[in-house]
Amino acid sequence: MAEPQAATTPPPPARLLPVAVLLWLAGVYLRIPVLVAPPLAPFIGDELALTQALTGALTTLPILMLAIGSMPGSLAIARIGPRNTLALAMVIMVIGSAGRGLMPDTLTLMIASAVMGIGVSMMQPSLPALLPRWLEPHHLALGSAIYMNGMLMGEFIGAGITLPVLMPLLDNSWRATLLAWSLPGLLIAAALFLPKRDRAKPLRKVAWLPDWHNPLTLKIGLLLGLSGSLFFGLNAYMGNLLQHQGQFDKLPDALFWYNLAQVFASLIMLKMARYWVGRRGVIATLASISLLGAIGAVMLTRFLAMAGLSTGLVELVTSMDMTVAWALLALVLVYLVLGMFLDPLGVMLLTLPVFLPVFHALNMDLIWIGVLVVKLIEVGLLTPPVGMNVYVVKSVVGDQVALGTVFKGLLWFLLCEALLLLLLSSFPQLALWLPNLVS
């Protein structure tokens, strides 16, 4: 009797750290192959004489393939398991992504993009299906946050640092850049087989088709469609939008700042995973902010250009002989005031189109400014009356601690943030040392 009982006992859970690293790396490669296209699209379009629609399709076509490849991915999960499916999908993704760097004409380039999209679409359902096989139930929310953090960081890495960091190291070759981003995915696919299969397989047969009678299916589909079209659409056509506005030279900066916002979101999600997962109010709020942000990205810059505000500010700065110190003081004051009432994305959308021309006129390093903006955003998340992190803490502790007590406890953190801002403003080398080392 002891032998059958031992055979049904699941092995002990896998160690969390190596599993977390693999989940994060797999999440990164859910987005890097897709989001490397927007910064490289102008170079690809020039060499292959692509139209604006085909240039945008380098990003949107793989996203459209999510609707085609997701169900074959679910079928593969049901037949061969989530780990094998994820490894297979990563190999397909690498073949398509690296193939884009080798294709000689438009047709084969689009075919390779579609193949890559199928690989990404099969990876997408494999990661959440893999979590219960590798993690204990109380670690599932953390595991979800880890691979989602990887996805968001992959968005920033692919779109934000391709032009300023990787491409110059490869003689400005878009083909070599695609290969350099793609091939490490094979190492991650092989590493997926290092953790032992630690938890028992599902006892019942797993359904791989969506339940079309469940209203939740349509709601989730609409939500994912909204978020995907907003984010990837803006990334795909950012170059066309800026070219239409006569600001195409700002494409690297625009992609950097737009995708840097994902880093803030990923860090917040990593911290608040157990409290936010499954909350409708959080989803509705963030979806509304994203929609308003997309409208602002399209309309606000055009409005400022028509009003002549940015040009007027640059002329004012030049006539006043404004120094860098005064510009930094203005930035800090504006962010402190707006941070008390607005969310981080709203603050950046309102301020960066106004301040960036001033920073350019004063020849200020934008990476240094970016670090300062991150710190100011963190301060805005703590300051009353609308310090988002304060209310998150209050929702966790409930009635045990008064809201005023939470705000009082943040004073030490605000003092530390003020000291860091003073140091970063006085000694830019603290913020620029690592980027300069990389470049």
pLDDT tens readout for residues 242-251? 666 666 677 7
Average pLDDT over residues 49-77: 82
Q: 5 pLDDT band (50/70/90 cuts)?
A: very low
Report the pLDDT value the prediction gives residue 92, as an integer from 0 to 100. Answer: 96
Closest CA to 355 of 334, 325, 379, 381: 334
For the ranges 119-123, 297-301, 339-343, which has the lowest average pLDDT?
297-301
Q: Kindly write down the DSSP assignment for every residue of 239-251, as one continuous string.
A: HHHHHHTT-GGGH
Decide: 255 and 37 in contact? Cβ < 8 Å. Answer: no
Q: Per-residue pLDDT averaged across 38-45, rounded? A: 87
Per-residue pLDDT averaged across 76-91, rounded? 91
What lies within 8 Å, CB to CB, of 363 at 6+ separation is none
Q: What's the confidence (pLDDT) of residue 9?
A: 45
Closest CA to 387 of 403, 369, 370, 371: 403
Q: Of 276, 192, 293, which Cα lies nearest the Cα of 233? A: 293
Q: Is the pLDDT of residue 182 over 80?
A: yes
The secondary structure element, H or E, covering residue 305 is helix 280-307
Q: Answer yes or no: are the C-beta atoms of 380 and 344 closer than 8 Å.
A: yes
For tokens 């693999």, the residue is 22
- pLDDT band at residue 297 using 50, 70 and 90 as cut-offs: low
Mean pLDDT of 422-432: 87
What's the CATH class of domain 13-200+217-276?
mainly alpha
Mean per-residue pLDDT, 42-59: 85
Does residue 142 contact residue 276 with C-beta atoms inside 8 Å? no
- Percent of the chain residues topping a pLDDT of 90: 18
**Could you report the per-residue pLDDT of 19-31, keeping only the tens digit for each?**
889 999 999 999 8
pLDDT of residue 7: 42
Looking at residue 75, its amino acid is L
Highest mean pLDDT among 274-278, 339-343, 352-356: 352-356
Domain boundaries, the chain: 13-200+217-276, 306-438
The average pLDDT across 409-424 equals 84
> What pLDDT is attached to residue 100?
94
pLDDT of residue 187: 96
Q: Mean pLDDT over residues 414-428, rounded?
A: 87
pLDDT (average), residues 397-420: 77
**Chain segment 130-146, per-residue pLDDT in tens:** 888 888 877 777 788 78
Token digits for 387? 């310090």
Residue 108 has pLDDT above 70, yes or no: yes
The whole-number average pLDDT for the span 274-291 is 64
Answer for the pair 234, 344: CB distance below 8 angstroms, yes or no: no
How many CA atoms, within 13 angstroms, populate the side-chain half-sphere of residue 291?
Answer: 10
Report the predicted TM-score, pTM, of the whole model to 2 decimal places.
0.58
